[in-house]
Amino acid sequence: MVSIKTKEEILLMREAGRITALAHEAVANAIKPGITTKQLEEVAEQVIRSCGAIPAFKGEDGFPANICTSINDEIVHGIPCLTKLENGDIISVDIGANYKGYFGDCAKTHPVGVISLEAKQLLEVTQQSLFEGLKMVKPGNRLGDISHAIQTYAEKYGYSIPIEYGGHGIGSELHEEPHISNVGDANTGITLKEGMCLAIEPMLICGKPHTRVLKDGFTVVSKDHTLSAHFEHTVLVTKEGYEILTTLPK
Ligand code: MG
């Protein structure tokens, strides 16, 4: 069952999303060559806790840290550590916040210093593939419309998609039904309804789609070690379309 949020739940989802976005903003401002991913984790945790929320990822399937930090060929679920970011790296930061039992989930990939044109295009296309997916979010459309839009846009640029990973419903659980694949056919899957909350999160790879999990048991890398990027927003399905919850009010 895909849950439909009540008005009260939507208020909590908005606040969870806002806190997640605030943490992202602070982390984005801290990213520079020489900083460690552990320091970025501390920045995010401080913001989340100062807002009365709890970092959502720690303990999720045994994940040992408050946020995920995935560098270069790391796709998702990287563990913050003492590795220093270097000029030319790209870093994917995935942050979740639990506010009074409701979750926000958001990921962004950032350049560190000056990056290659190859990396820059990967970031742009991955972010735009998220927005291509979001354009499909409205009542009456189907889940596969989102997947198909992401896949079509990514493949137009020659990127591949690791099919083992995807988005999800979100609410009083971090991961709820449905699973949202980043590949699929239009006009398939469940029909979207007002009040659903979805975390949509394309991950794209420059090379082949195959992945491998490192010995730490969590970090997923591209098997051919080509660059990967990840963008995610938590959205509410509205009467007209969607509202991005993991963003800051203008
Ligand atoms: Mg997610």
pTM for the model stands at 0.98
Cβ atoms of 76 and 166 within 8 Å: the answer is no
* Separation of CA 115 and ligand 1 centre (Å): 26
In this prediction, residue 78 carries a pLDDT of 98
CA atoms lying within 13 Å on the CB side of residue 91: 32
* Separation of CA 129 and ligand 1 centre (Å): 15
* Separation of CA 87 and ligand 1 centre (Å): 27
In this prediction, residue 250 carries a pLDDT of 79
CATH superfamily ID and name for 7-234: Creatinase/methionine aminopeptidase superfamily (3.90.230.10)
Residues of the chain under the 50 pLDDT cut: none
Contacts of 65 (CB under 8 A, 6+ apart): 41, 57, 58, 79, 80
* Separation of CA 167 and ligand 1 centre (Å): 6
Reading the block at residue 113, the tokens are 């210093």
Domain residue spans in the chain? 7-234
Give, in degrees to the nearest 5, the angle at Cα 10 between 8 and 15: 105
In this prediction, residue 213 carries a pLDDT of 98
Using CA atoms, how far apart are residues 109 and 28, in angstroms rounded to an integer?
9
* Separation of CA 106 and ligand 1 centre (Å): 7
In this prediction, residue 193 carries a pLDDT of 98
Using CA atoms, how far apart are residues 9 and 196, in angstroms rounded to an integer?
11
Please report the DSSP string for 68-122 in residue order.
EEEETTEEE-PPP-SPBP-TT-EEEEEEEEEETTEEEEEEEEEE-SS--HHHHHH
